[in-house]
C-alpha cells in the first residue's frame, strides 16, 4: 500500500493542527508537522492524536522567519527515508497589527513579509524537489480575502494584507512554472484561531465567524478533488467556490 505524504507548516495549533488531525486520522498517511519549536508542549501533544491504520506523525522544526530551517527539515526528512511529498500546505503566518497605510510602520510590514512571504518561498524552494517526485503533487497556500485586490475589503490591514497579496501572486506563478504541480490558494475564512479572534476583537467583534472544524473540513474536501486543470493557479474558498483575486 502506497503512503501519502503530507507536510503542514504551523501545524501545532489553529488551522494547521485542525488539518493535521484530519490527515493523520486517515489510513496510510505520513503527516509531517512543521513548526518553529517541536519541543513545545503544543507540538508534543500532537503525538497523542488519533492515528489511522498505517499512518504516522513526524515533527520537524521550521520557523517561517528562519531562512535555513525549511532546507534543514527536508534534509532530516530525507535521512528518515522520506523520498517524496504529495502535498505541502503552507499555513504558517502572522498577523498582529491592522494599520492604515498612512500609519504603517515599515518594521511591521517587514515582519509580516518575512514570515508570510519569505517563509513561504523558503518552504517551497526546500520542498519542491520532493514534491515533484510525487505522481500528483499539490501545493496549497493558505490565503485570505485580506489579500484581495479586485474586491479589496474596506478595512485597515496594510501589513498583513500586503503580505498575503504578494504570496497569492507567488502561488499563481508556482502553478504556471511547473507543469506537473497543482498549486493554488485556499482561503479558510475568518476563523476562530488565536490569530483570527485577535483580529476580530481589533475590529469590534467578539470572535471570528468560522470555526476551525468547519473550515478544515471544507478545505480538505477542496484539496482532495483539486486538479491542475480546474484548480491550479486560482484562489478558492473553504466552501468550495472560486474567489476573485
Which of 160, 172, 231, 234 is the catalytic position?
160
Cα Rg for the chain, rounded, in angstroms? 17
**Is the alpha carbon torsion for 119, 122, 128, 131 positive or negative?**
negative
* Dihedral, CA of residue 165, residue 241, residue 94 and residue 108, to nearest 10: 30
Pairing of strands 56-61, 87-90: unpaired
Does the active-site annotation cover 164? yes
The string of DSSP letters for 179-192 reads TT-EEEEEE--SBS
Query: Which residue in the block uniquely carries the three cell numbers 511591521?
Result: 108
Does the active-site annotation cover 231? no
Q: Tell me whether residue 83 is exposed, middle or buried, using C-beta atoms within 10 angstroms of its C-beta: 0 to 12, 13 to 18, 19 or more.
A: exposed
Q: How far apart are CA 85 and CA 70, in angstroms?
A: 14
| Bridge partners, residue 236, by sequence | 186, 242
Q: Residue 209's CB: how many other CB atoms inside 10 A?
A: 12
C-alpha cell recorded at residue 224: 482532495
Which of 164, 172, 228, 234 is the catalytic position?
164
230 touches 204 (CB < 8 A): no
The residue among 165, 196, 150, 163 whose CA lies nearest residue 18 is 196
Query: Any idea which residues carry the catalytic annotation?
Result: 160, 164
Amino acid at each position: 500500500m502506497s503512503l501519502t505524504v503530507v507536510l503542514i507548516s504551523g501545524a501545532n495549533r489553529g488551522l494547521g493542527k485542525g488539518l493535521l488531525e484530519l490527515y493523520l486520522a486517515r489510513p496510510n498517511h505520513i503527516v509531517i508537522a512543521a513548526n518553529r519549536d517541536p519541543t513545545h508542549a503544543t507540538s508534543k501533544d500532537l503525538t497523542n492524536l488519533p492515528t489511522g491504520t498505517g499512518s504516522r506523525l513526524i515533527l520537524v522544526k521550521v520557523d517561517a522567519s528562519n531562512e535555513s530551517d525549511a532546507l534543514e527539515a527536508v534534509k532530516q526528512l530525507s535521512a528518515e527515508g522520506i523520498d517524496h511529498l504529495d502535498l505541502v500546505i503552507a499555513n504558517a503566518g502572522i498577523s498582529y497589527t491592522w494599520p492604515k497605510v498612512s500609519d504603517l510602520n515599515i518594521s511591521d510590514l517587514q515582519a509580516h513579509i518575512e514570515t508570510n512571504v519569505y517563509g513561504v518561498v523558503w518552504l517551497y524552494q526546500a520542498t519542491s524537489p520532493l514534491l515533484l517526485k510525487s505522481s500528483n503533487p499539490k501545493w496549497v497556500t493558505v490565503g485570505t480575502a485580506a489579500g484581495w485586490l479586485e474586491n479589496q475589503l474596506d478595512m485597515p490591514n496594510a501589513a498583513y494584507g500586503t503580505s498575503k497579496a504578494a504570496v497569492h501572486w507567488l502561488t499563481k506563478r508556482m502553478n504556471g512554472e511547473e507543469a506537473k504541480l497543482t498549486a493554488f490558494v485556499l482561503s479558510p475564512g475568518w476563523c476562530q484561531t488565536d490569530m483570527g479572534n485577535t483580529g476580530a476583537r481589533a475590529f469590534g467583534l467578539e470572535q471570528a465567524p468560522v470555526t476551525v472544524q468547519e473550515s478544515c473540513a471544507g478545505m480538505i474536501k477542496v484539496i482532495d478533488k483539486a486538479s491542475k486543470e480546474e484548480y491550479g493557479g486560482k484562489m478558492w474558498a473553504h466552501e468550495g467556490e472560486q474567489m476573485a483575486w
